[in-house]
Amino acid sequence: MAPRLRGIKEISSERAPAPPQAHAVPSGVAASLRGVTRSFGFRKVLGGLDLDIAAGEFVALIGRSGSGKSTLLRALAGLDQEVTGSIAAPGPVSVAFQEPRLVPWKRVLANVALGLRAADPVSVARTALREVGLAERESAWPLTLSGGEAQRASLARALVREPRLLLLDEPFSALDALTRITIHRLVLSLWERHRPAVLLVTHDVDEALALADRVLVLGDGRIAHQAPITLPRPRDRDHPALSALRLRLLTELGVPADSTQLTPVTFRSGMPSRIPWAPPRSELRGPTD
């Protein structure tokens, strides 16, 4: 028998902003969550979570795998109908997912312009592509883009809507270290220019430290810890204040302090365990090995 898949009608009707009662929020707030709760079966993933994000604030959300980061972000994006509590996110909300999720049968420009309600969507989209440095790839098919290009296109598609709240779910985790650094800079400059509030989900503590005004740690279904960062950007990752905060956050994440000394690679900015331009280990061995 066929698995019960839902009709498009049902998919489409999910559009209405998720939670039933969204509380009133002052104008300086981009998102406000009160008592947000979500369970899957008997597992409570979010349990009465409260959070406010100020307009224009850059917030990073870290947490162990499975702690509910994506669940929270989907709730904010209005993609989750079964979440309870109150969520207020006035104004346009944009999302960039971990996979770029470009519509494969639309060229890059059409992807960015998709659903855009501007007077001249195409030229607006073109401007956005120029901002992320993809102007000359506008007529490419998404499947021909490199990972970094696709992610930048996805970013352009999110930003072109001039969101008040930009939700980023680990959009950089599949990129190599160099591309990541480039995209970090890009995100910061775009953020400085357009000033949306940003909620960046990441598992990379260094990424959070480099970018955010405030780092949140999700644990036990609520914001278990949070730390503001006032250092100006660009930040030196070896700054003593950041080093102290890094340790603190890693401890919050349940990583024993001394193990961070042994395996820093996992938490650095996505540095691969093997240097890309070095020959594979097998080639370094002697022929008789």
List the alpha helices (DSSP H) in the chain. Answer: 8-13, 69-76, 108-113, 121-131, 147-159, 177-194, 205-211, 240-252, 257-262, 281-284
Site size toward another protein (CB under 8 A) is 40
Half-sphere exposure at residue 260, Cβ-oriented, CA atoms within 13 angstroms? 19
The whole-angstrom separation of Cα 88 and Cα 286 is 63
Q: Name the residue with tokens 């800079």.
A: 185
Residue 114 touching another protein (CB under 8 A) = yes
Residue 2 touching another protein (CB under 8 A) = yes
Question: Residue 248 has which token pair?
Answer: 């603190």
With helix as H, strand as E and coil as C, how does 17-32 read? CCCCCCCCCCCCEEEE
Please give the backbone phi and psi of residue 46, each rounded to the nearest 5 degrees, phi first: -115, 130
Using CB under 5 A, pick the residue from 70, 111, 151, 202 that binds Mg ion. Answer: 70
Residues 117 to 146: which contact another protein by CB under 8 A?
117, 139-144
How many residues appear in the chain?
Answer: 289
Residue 66 touching ligand ATP (CB under 6 A) = yes
159 binds, among ligand ATP, another protein, Mg ion, none (CB under 5 to 8 A by kind): none
Q: How far is the CB of 68 from ligand ATP (least distance, A)?
A: 4
- Neighbour count for residue 177 (Cβ, 10 Å): 13
Question: Residue 20 has which token pair?
Answer: 């039933």
Site string for ligand ATP, 26-45 (x = CB under 6 A): --------------x----x
With 0-12 / 13-18 / 19 or more C-beta atoms within 10 angstroms meaning exposed / middle / buried, residue 41 is exposed
* Alpha-carbon distances, residue 130 vs 155, 160, 171 (angstroms): 12, 11, 19
Residue 99 touching another protein (CB under 8 A) = yes
63 binds, among another protein, ligand ATP, Mg ion, none (CB under 5 to 8 A by kind): ligand ATP
Residue 65 touching another protein (CB under 8 A) = no
Site size toward ligand ATP (CB under 6 A) is 11
Using CB under 6 A, pick the residue from 58, 60, 67, 102 that binds ligand ATP. Answer: 67
Closest to ligand ATP by CB, 63 or 270: 63
Residue 80 touching another protein (CB under 8 A) = yes
Residue 286 touching another protein (CB under 8 A) = no
Please give the backbone phi and psi of residue 165, each rounded to the nearest 5 degrees, phi first: -130, 125
Residue 193 touching another protein (CB under 8 A) = no
Site size toward Mg ion (CB under 5 A) is 1
**Residues at the site binding ligand ATP, with contacts judged by CB under 6 A:** 40, 45, 63, 65-71, 203
